[in-house]
Structure 1
Amino acid sequence: MNIQESTLKEIREQIKQLKDIERMILEREKAKAIADIKSKIHKFNLSYGDIYDRTTKSRKTIYRNRYLV
Structure 2
Amino acid sequence: MTSWADIQKLASDLQRVQLSQSSKKLSEVNCIEVLQKLIASQQIDVVYTRDGHTYVTKKHLETEVRNFYFH
**TM-score normalised by structure 2 residue count:** 0.34
Which structure has more relative contact order (CA 8 Å, sep 6+)? It is: 2
Q: Which of the pair has more CA radius of gyration?
A: 1
- Structure number having the greater helix percentage: 1
